[in-house]
Structure 1
Amino acid sequence: MTVYKNAQASSIIYLHQGNIMDGTKKLHIAMFPWLAYGHTMPFLEVSKFLVQKGHRISYISTPKNIGRLPKLPPHLSSNISFVQFSLPHVHGLPPEAESTSEVPIDKVPYLKKAYDKLQVPLTEFLKDSNVNWIIHDFEPYWLPGITAPLGINSVLLCLFNASAMVFLGPPSALLGGGRKRPEDFTVVPEWVDYPCNVALKRYEIVNHQQCMDDVSDFQRVGLLVQGSQFVTLRACFEFEPDEIKLLIKLYQKPVVPVGLLPPSLPSNDDEGDDKWEAVKSWLDTKRDKSVFYIALGSEVNLSEESMHQLAFGIEKSNLPFIWVVRKRPMAEAQMDDNHLQDIIPPGFEERVSNKGLVLWGWAPQLRILAHSSVGGFLTHCSWSSITEGLKFGRALIAFSGASADQGMNARLLHGRKVGIEIERNELDGSFTSDSVAATIRRVMVEPEGEMIRANAWAMREIFGNEKLSNNYLDGFTRFIEEFEPSPTKRRV
């Protein structure tokens, strides 16, 4: 048994027996992310790093998802091939939809069924392309049945943190179905061996069940943990040492963190940032850390009543803010401009015009979070958004989007004292404008939030540390370069 020691911590990762490949060997690596922008972008970041180490990448997705990716610089583009597979038609999936941001949550199961049908073209590609490794997401549970006969190594890249993966548990729990009722997911699992508050609220697991198809997300993850050579995740020992060590025990195979993958600020030369110029001019007039930023991601769709409660809470906080309000998925009823305005209370923008900005649609989120006038971030708690907020040390106002890992992330932030969670009804997720306003003020200005603000600011040393991030990516790359399966698994 070989032992791998992480450069950033004293934790030991045990590796499978295997011959060591020449570290200079250049590999052909396929990337296969899930159909969501919060997944395609981190997969691209890992791809770019691997290319800089001399490896060749085939990045596989659908035309629209590939089309949304930013243009690569010339020195990278020659070694990344974008392989486009048309998404097969599935009855129930809206025409032209290719990502989670384009469908409401109850249509996501049809997107998963369509994604599963990519098994056919992917198999043909892998047979003909001499791929050494495939780095895949948590959805294609059928992939080990393809890669194993072909002698292709596979690694499950989870874009969740270690705390969320610990909560899901070992393959035996994921595949055994021991947790059947929603209430079973509202308690910390018995296998957790450190102090922990990470669990789901009942409304969160009920909501997430809407986006699972016949093969549950738990089964998908369990089969892929079992079928991969090792597991990597968007995590680091500096933030989750106990969680990563426990995952190694639970999985009984290598767990190699890829780091937090903090995004880079766009360069000042980037085009299409006219909206940013107006926002920057407004922010420049505000005091340091006085503004809070609100963004609920591309997939959270609150009811009109909930949007109004949130708006009233923002207004009652009486603090300067920027709120990004996005349009509904194309699968929902088409709204005219008047109906769009009904998403927020009538007259809201006029009443708050001296305090805040409402931005419709897209916003330059990284630029906003990086501005010195921004001190807090009201977030739906996707791990990508949290990473962006803590990269700049912004205190977090946690408002779980009630899907996937978002509820677990909200508890994690609250427990680590880098944010405070808005109080909500555990059964239906309802909340009041008063609880929104009170939480915003606690995080942003009140004395009891001073520790939260200080802790979040200190997180820049981890979440915004580019050197640390590159060290993890280096370790991940070396692991792939030096790993070779036993002779019985080599390609014939």
Structure 2
Amino acid sequence: MILQPNSVIPLAGLVIDLFCTSMIDVGNELGVPSYLFFTSSAGFLGLMLSLPKRHDEVGTEFNDSDPDSIIPSFVNPVPVNVMPGFVFNKEGSYISMVNHGRRFKDVKGILANTFQDLEPHALSSLLGQDGVPSIYTVGPLINHKDDGNHQYDHIMTWLDDQPNSSVVFLCFGSGGSFSGPQLKEIALGLEQSEVRFLWSIRIPTPTSGPSEDVDYKEVLPEGFLERNKKTEGFISGWTPQVKILAHKAIGGFVSHCGWNSILESIWFGVPIVTWPLYAEQQVNAFEMAKELGLAVEMKLDYRSGGDREIVESR
């Protein structure tokens, strides 16, 4: 279609994300339908839709001592320790998410970044729920485009020299990072395993997001950098995750279980080892390991920050 100068295209509808449900009212005032673009799993979507009913019955946030929850989008009862952190929050995020979940039923349709063969139970459970809008599966949405950035060619060159399916890739997302003591334990575990590895290391900072400005000699065990050459390990800061998962040398992925990372690993057939950190990653890891059998559990209930226990190398 070729648009003419000063042509007017009538507004057909609004597409909103899960945090912008107040825009539904704007759509109503304009007389156009609203659609929710849900970027996580159908399992988590079902959890969000179940929150208002639970809140109406219980009237309060979750507690660490709560029993397992029956959520229609999951085959198995969901343990409280894999629930998203916001469900325990007394300072506002819990009730905010309850309210968002309540408004989900006010949209005309939900565009979900998933597909039928991946989450058949979750999707069928949503179709059978009273008041749930039409679900349109539009996934997996993965950016395969090469942006032409050659800054990380050295990583790809190193991977080219490794045998097929021989490298474990450790990467924890744009917001994922570990403290010094935890990094040391990861290093010791890799060294003891004697596997080839590609490890994206970023450290937390007091005032901003994770930093790639890392002195590896300060945060890793003494002599590790020299010794890991024998196991043919490669350490980097930020890494081009999609390009790496697509490489024939990658044989496993230790992941924070963000939904985009899960879809990318499934697309390229790379097995996942679960190490969730925050947001809905714990319930994603539960779904992958316990519901679908598509991941190996290392941790399901780990949460970053605070006084979390150190995951030891042995």
TM-score (norm 1): 0.54
* Counterpart in the other structure of 1:409: 284
Aligned AA for 1:160? S
Kindly state the Cα deviation for residue 376 of structure 1 after the two structures are TM-superposed: 0.5
Q: Does the 8 A contact of 2:256 with 2:274 survive in 1?
A: yes
Q: Does the 8 A contact of 2:109 with 2:136 survive in 1?
A: no
- Pairing of 1:310-459 with structure 2 (within 5 A): 310-326=186-202, 328=204, 331-332=207-208, 342-354=218-230, 355-360=232-237, 362-401=238-277, 403-415=278-290, 416-423=292-299, 430-434=309-313
The answer to which of 201-210 and 279-288 deviates more is: 201-210
Q: Does the 8 A contact of 1:168 with 1:174 survive in 2?
A: no
Give the Cα–Cα distance (whole angstroms) in 1 for the partners of residues 118 and 44 of structure 2.
13
Aligned AA for 2:127? I
Structure 2: segments with no counterpart, 5+ residues = none
Change (3 A) 1:247 1:425: closer
* Counterpart in the other structure of 2:64: 183
**Residues 61-118 of structure 1: CA distance to partner in whole angstroms, max 9, x if unpaired?**
xxxxxxxxxxxxxxxxx9xxxxxxxxxxxxxxxxxxxxxxxxxxxxxxxxxxxxxxxx
Change (3 A) 1:232 1:338: closer
* Counterpart in the other structure of 2:158: 282
Q: Select which of 132, 135, 140 maps to 1:261.
A: 140
Structure 1 residue 242 and structure 2 residue 121: aligned? yes
Kindly state the Cα deviation for residue 199 of structure 1 after the two structures are TM-superposed: 4.2
**Residues 431-476 of structure 1: CA distance to partner in whole angstroms, max 9, x if unpaired?**
53335xxxxxxxxxxxxxxxxxxxxxxxxxxxxxxxxxxxxxxxxx
Bigger fraction of residues in helix: 1
Give the Cα–Cα distance (whole angstroms) in 2 for the partners of residues 287 and 212 of structure 1.
50
Structure 1: segments with no counterpart, 5+ residues = 1-53, 57-77, 79-127, 436-492
Kindly state the Cα deviation for residue 240 of structure 1 after the two structures are TM-superposed: 1.4
TM-score (norm 2): 0.82
Structure 1 residue 294 and structure 2 residue 170: aligned? yes
Structure 1 residue 230 and structure 2 residue 109: aligned? yes
Q: Does the 8 A contact of 1:381 with 1:407 survive in 2?
A: yes
Q: Does the 8 A contact of 1:237 with 1:244 survive in 2?
A: yes
Kindly state the Cα deviation for residue 286 of structure 1 after the two structures are TM-superposed: 1.7
Aligned AA for 1:312? L
Change (3 A) 1:221 1:287: same
* Counterpart in the other structure of 1:271: 148
Change (3 A) 1:390 1:186: farther
Give the Cα–Cα distance (whole angstroms) in 1 for the partners of residues 91 and 9 of structure 2.
33
Kindly state the Cα deviation for residue 146 of structure 1 after the two structures are TM-superposed: 1.7
Give the Cα–Cα distance (whole angstroms) in 2 for the partners of residues 210 and 313 of structure 1.
37
Q: Does the 8 A contact of 1:230 with 1:256 survive in 2?
A: yes
Q: Secondary structure at the match of 1:377?
A: strand
Q: Secondary structure at the match of 2:229?
A: coil
Query: Could you say what the CA RMSD is over the residues aligned between the two structures, in angstroms?
Result: 3.5
* Counterpart in the other structure of 1:122: none
Give the Cα–Cα distance (whole angstroms) in 1 for the partners of residues 98 and 220 of structure 2.
36
**Residues 135-167 of structure 1: CA distance to partner in whole angstroms, max 9, x if unpaired?**
111102322222212112101111111111223
Q: Secondary structure at the match of 1:387?
A: helix
Change (3 A) 1:373 1:309: same
Give the Cα–Cα distance (whole angstroms) in 1 for the partners of residues 42 and 212 of structure 2.
42
Give the Cα–Cα distance (whole angstroms) in 2 for the partners of residues 302 and 249 of structure 1.
41
Kindly state the Cα deviation for residue 370 of structure 1 after the two structures are TM-superposed: 1.0
Give the Cα–Cα distance (whole angstroms) in 1 for the partners of residues 89 and 64 of structure 2.
13
How many residues of Structure 1 are paired with residues of Structure 2 in the alignment?
A: 305
* Counterpart in the other structure of 2:39: 159
Give the Cα–Cα distance (whole angstroms) in 2 for the partners of residues 341 and 205 of structure 1.
33
Q: Does the 8 A contact of 2:61 with 2:90 survive in 1?
A: no
Give the Cα–Cα distance (whole angstroms) in 2 for the partners of residues 288 and 180 of structure 1.
48
* Counterpart in the other structure of 2:75: 195
Change (3 A) 1:177 1:296: farther
Q: Secondary structure at the match of 2:309?
A: coil
Q: Secondary structure at the match of 2:165?
A: coil
Q: Does the 8 A contact of 2:47 with 2:73 survive in 1?
A: no
Percent identity of paired positions between Structure 1 and Structure 2: 19
Kindly state the Cα deviation for residue 55 of structure 1 after the two structures are TM-superposed: 11
